[in-house]
Structure 1
């Protein structure tokens, strides 16, 4: 791969609207919960036959750069950085007009573009296309991007984000805003920032969240007292805890159609004991439960093995009063359940998993902050317990990131390769469908693919 350019993209300067030259924002309880977790990374693949180097450099790249600058104008704090000044009790977000912006790397690759987005491949094959993020003990970038051209095939846009500042809904809103601005730029015209539609307008309101008092310092004290092998000796360091990526894992994408989800829901309801579940299960729950059971079987777990599975849920609508749907920052909490693998390996395993997931989600309605108070960032898990988590959601609208050259051919949540996790997002081509991203050992992936495909085939033919 050839690096063509590494540049600094500042927020667009607009003489018609005054912007502060310097400001700071505090972190909330959910930001601090994620303070030391690794950066989140994702790649958007765009197929484009007219992607010669000349067209890319004269048409695509200038529009993407200019629209990124305009987008940062609307999301100004994300052009700043995370800092932990000695005189500050907690880390803070700082923005300074003179110096701030985001790092953009531009590259060109001769690798097989189609293979990278549509076939089973080693997880490490994605890593050259990921944006580097600058992080030190005292200063950490919030966001960076990499654009990679695959001549005559297409290009990728990847982001790397600091998890102490952004969650999945936040970055999805940013990417969709950037894409909206880019595809609405007039040809060859350096326009001033246009207003975003209401559904894309970000909110950075850092009003104290009622009921979260004390949570920030509880989580911060946890990080300050945590001692892990390989982590920084400086407890106030902003360096994330390293999570190595296994060398022998492969990545693949699997899909549920809308009809698959409908039939799966019918099957799950018919398998539940006592028939006391009458409300349909959500698409998220059904897709997660089915994938979870296939993963447990593919990993060869036995009846007496223990499995902890969980999810991260959006707190915005569950707070009192609720936060704006477009709140930018972390506003999530996690929940999980520990079960015997035997329950998942039975014929009723998918129904059992769906029921337990549903109970977890319904329990959140009774107070997400109360649940958050019982959590610490790292799970206290006994040896031998297998943890399976889900990243993303089928409600984030990842495939809405059309920059003017069509929807992504694929979107990959790359960071699931550091653990036993799966990713979920909406289907590219069908409303109501779901895409699952997975990273497993090669032999496990072969078993999983067989189970996943065969199970859906049986489902389609039996109902």
Structure 2
């Protein structure tokens, strides 16, 4: 069986939150809680969703002219409700820990790709296959000493078969529940824009996120305990000037006492 090693990138752009609301035009930041700093240096989480199409909707022409524009539009609307995901993880010089930072010019990387390999049904089936066959279908998440991306997306078409949505997320910002909620919100708004009568798609209460961090109590300062363990592990604790937001590519087990 041939692996999908040849994935041709058609386009890589950045999708910004919709400007329908004035909220997207203001800077803001969110502090990390101890739930977040626990995963601070963990490798990014890669998730892959499969969507089967029929012959008429799985052509390259239909994909680029109908499916991709619709996904971009609904993603922009979704990011308006999830503004922090459009931003970056940063570490201000006067802050004891990193923060989730959003600015009006921030946007999410959105890659469109094509795979001519005829094994779409095998990849999403229940049979055992090599995990590296899926690697070309998920995007990279860029991080540096100064900032780290929070989310990156890749849409890959398999002509006459279907397409995949690959999503890579920073585990210090997005947990499993948040990732699922974001995808459900995106799907909800994507369905709404099909209706010409819906000019301002909205989210139901159960899909509307809350960014209130004041409800998370941390009297024991577990956030700094976890963060200091990571800094010591990476040799940054002894020299604060070397604080880095780069994600570990290889990581040994960390034991807490």
Considering the TM-score relative to the shorter chain, is it more than 0.5?
yes
Give the number of the structure with larger relative contact order, counting CA–CA contacts within 8 Å between residues 6 or more apart. 2
1:31-50 matched pairs, under 5 angstroms: 31-49=36-54, 50=57
What CA RMSD, in Å, does the superposition of the two structures yield over aligned residues? 2.2
Aligned residue runs from structure 1 range 16-415, under 5 A: 17-49=22-54, 50-97=57-104, 99-111=105-117, 112-118=119-125, 119-186=127-194, 192-207=199-214, 209-227=216-234, 236-243=243-250, 378-379=254-255
User: Contact (CA 8 Å) 2:34, 2:218: kept in 1 or not?
Assistant: no
Q: C-alpha separation between the residues in 1 aligned to 2:99 and 2:197?
A: 33
Q: TM-score, normalised by structure 1?
A: 0.50
Q: Which has the higher helix share?
A: 1
User: How many residues align structurally?
Assistant: 242
Contact 1:146-1:159 within 8 A present in 2 as well: yes
Counterpart Cα distance in 1 of 2:197 and 2:158: 27
CA contact (8 A) 2:137 2:156 kept: yes
Residue 183 of structure 1 deviates from its aligned partner by 1.3
Residue range with higher mean Cα deviation, 144-153 or 199-208: 199-208
Partner Cα distance (1:179, 1:236) in 2: 38
> CA deviation digits over 1:265-288, x for unaligned, max 9?
xxxxxxxxxxxxxxxxxxxxxxxx
2:13 pairs with 1:14: no
Q: Which runs of 5+ in 2 are unaligned?
A: 1-6
Question: Cα deviations across residues 312-350 of structure 1 (Å, max 9, x unaligned)?
Answer: xxxxxxxxxxxxxxxxxxxxxxxxxxxxxxxxxxxxxxx
CA distance in 1, matches of 2:44, 2:128: 24
Any unmatched runs of 5+ in structure 1? Answer: 245-376, 382-463
C-alpha distance in 1, partners of 2:168/2:197? 27
Distance in 1 between residues matched to 2:197 and 2:143, nearest whole Å: 32
In 2, distance between residues paired with 1:80 and 1:52?
33
**Structure 2 vs 1, CA of residues 86 and 171 (structure 1 numbering), >3 Å: closer, same or farther?**
same
* 1:199, distance to aligned residue in structure 2 (A): 1.0
Larger Rg: 1
Post-superposition offset of 1:186: 2.7
Distance 2:245 2:23 in 1: 32
TM-score norm. by structure 2 comes to 0.88
